Amino acid sequence: MRLSDLQTKMVVNIKDGRHLGTIIDAEVNETGQILYFSVMSKRFFKRLFKGEAEITITIRQIVKIGTDVILVDL
């Protein structure tokens, strides 16, 4: 699966059902392993005025990758 495929999916927290946003970037080490994904909040104006930082999600926090949604356990 490519990063561009993951960027089109919604990221949802399974603990509270909250839509966290979408994946915007991935941090990769020298050996090519993904360290974490960066998720940007879905609310642009809230992010702009409150200074909300992006959320980082590790591979271990991903529960399931579906056709439209990525479920995470935060």
Least confident interval from 35-39, 52-56, 68-72? 52-56
Element (H, E) at 43: none
What distance in Å separates the CA atoms of residue 35 and residue 47, rounded to the nearest whole number? 24
pLDDT digit string, tens, across residues 39-68: 987 665 555 555 556 789 999 999 999 999
pTM: 0.79
What distance in Å separates the CA atoms of residue 10 and residue 70, rounded to the nearest whole number? 6
Residues 6+ apart with CB under 8 A from 29: 35
Domains in the chain, CATH or no CATH each? 3-72 (2.30.30.240)
